[in-house]
Amino acid sequence: MLKKITAVYFSPTGGTRKAALFLAQGMAEEVCELDLSFPKITEYQFQSGDCVLFAAPVWGGRVPAYEVERIRACCGNGAVAVTAAVYGGRAYEDALLELNDCVAAQGFRVAASAALLAEHSIYHPAAAGRPDEQDRVQLGEFAAAILKKLAEAPDRAAEVPGDRPYRQWSQLPVVPAVSDNCVRCGLCAKKCPTAAIPGEDPAKTLSDKCILCMRCVSVCPQKARALPAPIMAAMEQKLSPFKEMRRENELFL
């Protein structure tokens, strides 16, 4: 076991964080968390003896631009990195490759990577309930294999699937709709990673700031926020083939 690992993640609805912690807890006695979901970008310096786990949710087969921007404020200075792309049961396409490129460009040595499953944050029947107990056990095994690799060949880079240039993806041109259930408690405004919801009028969403991360939908105690019904119907059509499928976590050493 390592003494300490830092888990760096963007996890709007909690799935990426949960998967990252299952992995990190199997690797080190102490897990520090660095949550990147704050509107303001802050610089972080790591050192060559550090081990850092970078975890990203997969959006359209890519790493969210929001997270890429924040990783660019992390300086590795030769620290070892483990990466994890966390996806909702459809596909992760170029996300793991993009994450590795991004982390390596910041001066980290990427020694191991994983593609992990978490419940789809828009279409919940896909990868429903994951990461679950079975995943927790498997990620413990992944952690042991990563530790072995770090001890034996820390400088051999992990090869992962994906293509460059990365696939094109653009966000749907919608924002979550707000129903009459909204009591203007302001929790969504407080938790929004891009400050897209005005605190003084939380029933609004600023379309130029919203990145459709689903944080506001998932935290609303009144269930007053949801994607518009026609969008959800299109999602159901596109993603229903993945609802009965149990995809496997993958490890790349």
Ligand X SMILES: Cc1cc2nc3c(=O)[nH]c(=O)nc-3n(C[C@H](O)[C@H](O)[C@H](O)COP(=O)(O)O)c2cc1C
The reply to whether 193 sits near ligand X by the rule CB under 6 A is no
Q: Is 9 helix (H, G, I), strand (E, B) or coil?
A: strand
CB closer to ligand X, 62 vs 80: 62
- Its sign, for the CA torsion 97, 102, 107, 113, is negative
CB closer to ligand X, 156 vs 167: 167
Pairing of strands 74-75, 177-178: unpaired
Q: How many amino acids of this chain bind ligand X (CB under 6 A)?
A: 25
Considering the complex, what minimum distance in angstroms separates the CB of residue 150 from ligand X?
25
The reply to whether 249 sits near ligand X by the rule CB under 6 A is no
Nearest to 115 by CA among 137, 144, 94: 94
Name the E strands within the chain. Answer: 2-9, 28-35, 44-45, 51-57, 74-75, 80-87, 109-117, 177-178, 225-226, 250-252
Pick one of 2, 4, 14, 194: the residue that binds ligand X (CB under 6 A). 14
Owner of token pair 């119907």 = 233
Within residues 42-71, the interface with ligand X by CB under 6 A covers 57-61
Name the E strands within 58-212. Answer: 74-75, 80-87, 109-117, 177-178
Pick one of 122, 158, 175, 192: the residue that binds ligand X (CB under 6 A). 122
The reply to whether 202 sits near ligand X by the rule CB under 6 A is no
Stretch that binds ligand X, among 8-16, 23-31, 99-107, 180-188 (CB under 6 A): 8-16
The reply to whether 15 sits near ligand X by the rule CB under 6 A is yes
The reply to whether 89 sits near ligand X by the rule CB under 6 A is yes
Q: Is the peptide bond before 198 cis (omega within 30 degrees of 0)?
A: no
Contact 38, 193 (CB under 8 A): yes
Pick one of 6, 90, 178, 202: the residue that binds ligand X (CB under 6 A). 90
Pairing of strands 109-117, 80-87: parallel
Stretch that binds ligand X, among 106-114, 150-158, 177-185, 209-217 (CB under 6 A): 209-217
CB closer to ligand X, 96 vs 251: 96
Interface contacts to ligand X, rule CB under 6 A: 11-16, 57-61, 86-91, 118-122, 212-214
